[in-house]
Structure formats: structure tokens, C-alpha cells
Structure 1
Amino acid sequence: MEKHLYRVNFNRKIIVFLVLIIISIGGPRAVAFEALVTNERSGDVIHVDEDGRTNHVVPICNRPRGMVRGLVDSHVIIACSDDHKVITYNRATRTIESEISPVRGAMNIAIHNASSRLFVTNEGAARASAFDLSSGQLIAELPTGLEPDGIAITDDGKTLFVASENAGLVHVFDGSTYEQQGVIKTNLRPRRITLFKKELWVSSEMGSRVEIFDIETHAKRDEVIFAPKGFRPEQMTPVDIAFNDLANEAYIALGSANHIAIVDITTRQITKYILVGRRAWGLGLSPDKQTLIVLNGLSDDFTLIDLQTKRPYLTKRAGLIPHSIKVFE
């Protein structure tokens, strides 16, 4: 009897020891990074490290949403929708350095570094605005359909794309004259647009798909339709798109489906669906491209996914309704 109890206790100690090792190891050993997350409802920016720790919470403005890297590495530019302005935030000093106002219903942002131009979608005004980032001066206003959201400019600054949710269009503007060159018809509610090499990827929130267009001809090249087993089409509401050229993969946040999809960029095949939090929304990629950070808008948290194993390994609290993320070395 005593020997039996000894063996039981010894086995329990081994199990406890192994569990502690697993806990201490946690997820993959990520390269150090800092991620900034805008939280729409709590009105702040959080600074998160590679271990998922929130090191700083900084009140910033009312309804911070779209965010891009600034002209220098320590800066991000943030759209403050309810304050009708755009701010430049210094992540090193955790202070606001400047602002451009008024910018009615500032939603999403694109920047062209070479010309120091800032482009903003004005959600409630059915237009996009172009600013000189150095002076804050308004350069042009570009009419769009209702509810403009995603915005992107080519590296050479010659072509600007603006998605209009309500109209089901992507407007194409000349990057110098700001004249409209044409429109691209999309499926229902185009949300985010992302440029990758010579392709324009557009997420169709109510169309359960991502559509892929040629940047120069605007012709449709392909589409990826999301239909995992057990889900209705209306639950597939793709929003953000991120590319990992090292792995030849695209990652798409599927919104209300509470998953992200992994797509082979070349074949357009969906290779995996990964369960995350409620309403997967924004996406960020670590500098070594081994970790995907997913913002879950309705569960107010973010999930870290190991891209080697294709498994989530950590979910931590964010602010209220996390919206956008940028990751820095």
C-alpha cells in the first residue's frame, strides 16, 4: 500500500513538473516586437510586446480607427473618427505630436512617403481627402460613393484606390491630378483593399469573398470564396488582409465567422481556417513573419497565432473594440 501511494505521488509530481515546463515555454519564442492597437470604443492606444503583454495604455481621442506608419519609425498616424481629425502619435514618447483638423469622419488612411502625402477616407461625407503631411494643408477632395472605407496608393504614387462600401465600387484616381480614372465593380460591401505586387485584393464583407484585380488594367483576375463547413454564407464577413511573402500566404480576417483564413497566394487555395475570438477584424504580422496577431472586435481581445504550426497559442485582453494594428521591430 505504501509503495502504491509512493508511486502515485511520484507520478503526480512528474505530471505537475511537465505541466510547469509547458506553461513556462508557452508559445514560440518570438522575435522582440512592439505592436500598437487602436481601440475604437475605449478611445486609446495600447502598446503590446511579443509575449502579449500590454505595457502601456494611452488615451488618445474619440473613436480611433485606421492607423498607418508615419514618415519616421517612431510615428504612427491615426484617424480619430468622432473628433474629425487625424493625429500623429509618437510611440517612443507616447505623446501626440501634431494633428490635422477638421477631417470629417476620418476612417482609414494611406500614406505616400516619397511625396509626404496623406490620404483619408471620410466615412460620412462620401469622399476621400488628400493632405500635405508636412504642413497639414488640404490638397484635394475626391468624391466617392457612400461609406468609403479602404484606401491604398501605389508605390510610385500614380494611382489611388478607394473602396466604397455602400456603392459596391472601388474608385480609381490619378495620383497626381486626383481625377477619377474609372471604377471597379465589386461584390457586396468592399471593405479593405490591399496592394500586393501587381494585384489589388479587395475584401467583400457581405459577399463572403476576396476579389483580386489587376492594378493596371483593373480587370478581375480571380476570387477566393470562403465557405467552411458548418457556416452560413452570411457569417463569412471578410475584412482585413495581410500578406506574408516569405511563406507565400495571405491571411484574411473573416469577421463574424470568428476565424481567419490562410490562402496560398499563387494557387488561391484556402489551406486552413483557424478559430480565434469574436469578429476577427484587424491583422498584424510580426517582423520575422512567424506570428500573426488577430484583433477580435467583439470579444475585446487579440489572438497570437504561430505560423509554423498554424495554431493559436495566446489570447489576451485588448481595449474596447480593437480596430487597427501596426507592428514594429
Structure 2
Amino acid sequence: MKKLILTSILTASILNADTIFVSNEKDNTISVIDSVTNKVVKTYEVGQRPRGILLTKDYSKLYICASDDDTVQAMDTKTGEILYNLPSGEDPEQFALHPDGKELYISNENDGIVTVVDTVEKAVISQIEVGLEPEGMAVSPDGSVAINTSETSNFLHWIDTKTKKIIHNTLVDQRPRHIEFSKNGDMIWASSEIGGTIVVVNTKTKESVAKLGFKIPGIFKDLIQPVGIKLTSDGKYAFVALGPANHVAVIDAKTYKVIKYLLVGKRVWQLDFAQNEKKLYTTNGVSGDVSVIDVDSLKVEKTIKVGRYPWGLAVIPSK
């Protein structure tokens, strides 16, 4: 009887576990974490300098920006096998998948372009000139607009996904890094790493509705460098990775006020939710680990050692 109960518990644990993928920039690997045990269960070798990662709509493949190989790799999420490479342009760093699951928008930092790839035909369908050092990339929930950040030009470039033309530019603070759409697409949140700010922009008017700065007791201002952003789907919280400040800012997404700062690992970079947004995982590059934050209590629960310089995150939810 005890054996049966134990087996049932273990089976339930396996069934309820999300699968978390982490790209390790210096090791050229992908770590796979079980969200129930919070342990690394697999490590896969991939291309050189993996940074941005994302999943296909059916979760069967993980797309990987292998930056120093100048390609996007498609990895089988069950076996870890690299199935094929997609043309990406030079030095792909971040990308975003259109809601149709077909078009992949890739920022090419060295060339000042956004490359659009048809993932079905495995072919480049457009290259769009943007500002200097393009970095962040996002596509609206309705698929009508893609937005790219240019680090040196300090712009958000709004791209019509039908015409593949820039339709608007929004000037922001120095070195914009990341863009995050709200669930319904009415707002975007954009981080400026060197500027030390977050700007919230209304996607209809393209006007700024809020601008946030950060102040952490005992931390030099120059170390507070906002990068990755995640928004809860209920519109309650925004979480912002603050880079070498080694903290995640928790923001009331309605009032735009900072509620709390959470101490995580060194040089926190990106974030993603797991367990139905009950947990938030962060990649901490310099310390080579991932922090686990409980979203309800707003407390850091655990640290998981991964590879060297973890960068991106992607999560397959449990069925």
C-alpha cells in the first residue's frame, strides 16, 4: 500500500512538472530543469554562444540563437537533437515568433537589420533596416506589429508585419534592451539598460504613459541596469531583471510603483514564469545559476546551478 501511494505521488509530480530550458552562453549548452524538483535533469550541447531561446507553438521544438554560428537552431525538445538550422543573418541575439507560428523575427546586432524567416520554408523572406545594434524583439499578440530595440540609436522601431516596413519610431533612454507586450497588447514595457529606466507605451497612441526609475539601498545607481521583463497575465505585477544590481524589481503594473526588490544571483538577465505563473525563474549570468521566486509570497525560494553564463529561458507547461 505504501509503495502504491509513493508511486502515485511520484507519478503526479512528474505529470505536474513544467520543463524549463536555459541557454548557457559560455558552455554552448542548454540545461533542462524539472520545475517540481528544481533540479537540472538534462544538459544538451548546442551551437556557439546560445542566447535567445523560444518554443514553437506545439512545444515540439526549441529555437536557439546560436550567435557565434550565425544561425538559429531547431532542437527537438524531447531528445535534444538539433533537427536543422534556420538562416538568421549575422549574430542573432534575440527573436520573436509571430502568433501564426510561421514567421520568426530576428535581431541582427552587427548588421543593423531585422531578419524575417519563414520557419516552414526555412527561408529568409525579408530583411528590414533598423537602428544601430538591434537587440530586443517582440511581436504583438494579434500579430500586426513587431517591435525592435536599437541599443545605440535608442529607438523602438515599430514594424508592420504585413508590409515589413517601419511605421513608427519611439525614442527611449540609453541602450534599450527588451520589450514585453501586455497580455491584450494594449501596452508595451521597454527596458533601457544604461538609462536605468522602464518606459510603458500605449500601443494605440504610441505615447508613453509611464516612466520608471529604480533605487536600491546600498547599490550604486550605475549598477541598476534594467533588462528582462515579465508581466503577469492578470495585469497585477511586472517583474524586471536589474542586471549587475543582482535584484529583480517587483512593480505594481497598475500604479507603476515599485513594491519590492528581490535579491537573486549575479547579473540577472532574463525571466520566465512556470507552474501557472506561481513561480518565476531568473537567469543569473555571472553566478551561473537560476533563481526561483514564489510569485504569491514574492520571496526567492531556491537557487539552481546551471552552466556558465545562463542567458535565456523558455518553459513547456505541464499537461
TM-score by length of 2: 0.91
5+ unaligned residues in a row in structure 1: which ranges? 1-29
Aligned residue number for residue 214 of structure 2: 226
Q: Distance in 2 between matches of 1:89 and 1:284?
A: 19
SS of residue matched to 1:141: strand
Contact 2:103 2:117 in 1 (8 A): yes
Q: Distance in 2 between matches of 1:115 and 1:257?
A: 35
Q: Distance in 2 between matches of 1:200 and 1:125?
A: 25
1:292 has 2:280 as partner: yes
Alignment match of 1:47 (pick from 12, 20, 32): 32
Q: Distance in 2 between matches of 1:287 and 1:313?
A: 14
In structure 2, give the amino acid aligned to 1:291: K
Tell me by how many angstroms 1:141 deviates: 0.6
1:264 has 2:249 as partner: no
In structure 1, give the amino acid aligned to 2:97: I
Tell me by how many angstroms 1:149 deviates: 0.6
Contact 2:285 2:309 in 1 (8 A): yes
Alignment match of 1:255 (pick from 243, 253, 262): 243
RMSD, aligned CA:
1.4
The alignment-based identity, stated in percent, is 27
Tell me by how many angstroms 1:265 deviates: 0.7
Do the aligned partners of residues 102 and 157 (structure 1) sit closer, same or farther apart at CA in structure 2, a change above 3 Å counting?
A: closer
Alignment match of 1:319 (pick from 297, 307, 311): 307
Q: Distance in 2 between matches of 1:132 and 1:141?
A: 12
1:308 has 2:293 as partner: no
Deviations 1:247-287 (A, max 9, x none): 71111000010000100110111111000110111101113
Alignment match of 2:21 (pick from 33, 36, 44): 36
Aligned residue number for residue 13 of structure 1: none
- Higher mean Cα deviation, 254-263 or 303-312? 303-312
SS of residue matched to 2:315: strand
Alignment match of 2:161 (pick from 166, 172, 175): 175
Deviations 1:232-258 (A, max 9, x none): 221110100011134711110000100
- Higher mean Cα deviation, 67-76 or 168-177? 67-76
Q: Distance in 2 between matches of 1:159 and 1:288?
A: 27
In structure 2, give the amino acid aligned to 1:161: I
Deviations 1:291-321 (A, max 9, x none): 1111101111111112222211211211111
Q: Distance in 2 between matches of 1:242 and 1:115?
A: 21
SS of residue matched to 2:106: strand
Do the aligned partners of residues 223 and 31 (structure 1) sit closer, same or farther apart at CA in structure 2, a change above 3 Å counting?
A: farther
1:162 has 2:162 as partner: no
Aligned residue number for residue 85 of structure 1: 71
Contact 1:71 1:116 in 2 (8 A): no
Deviations 1:137-167 (A, max 9, x none): 1111111111111111112222111000111
Contact 2:108 2:115 in 1 (8 A): yes
Alignment match of 1:187 (pick from 148, 161, 173): 173
SS of residue matched to 2:218: coil
Q: Distance in 1 between matches of 2:119 and 2:81?
A: 18
Contact 1:209 1:238 in 2 (8 A): yes
- Higher mean Cα deviation, 308-317 or 48-57? 308-317
1:145 has 2:131 as partner: yes
Contact 2:87 2:117 in 1 (8 A): no
5+ unaligned residues in a row in structure 2: which ranges? 1-14
Contact 1:173 1:180 in 2 (8 A): yes
Tell me by how many angstroms 1:88 deviates: 1.1
SS of residue matched to 1:320: coil
Do the aligned partners of residues 31 and 246 (structure 1) sit closer, same or farther apart at CA in structure 2, a change above 3 Å counting?
A: farther
TM-score by length of 1: 0.88
Tell me by how many angstroms 1:90 deviates: 1.2
**Larger Rg belongs to:** 1
Contact 2:88 2:124 in 1 (8 A): no
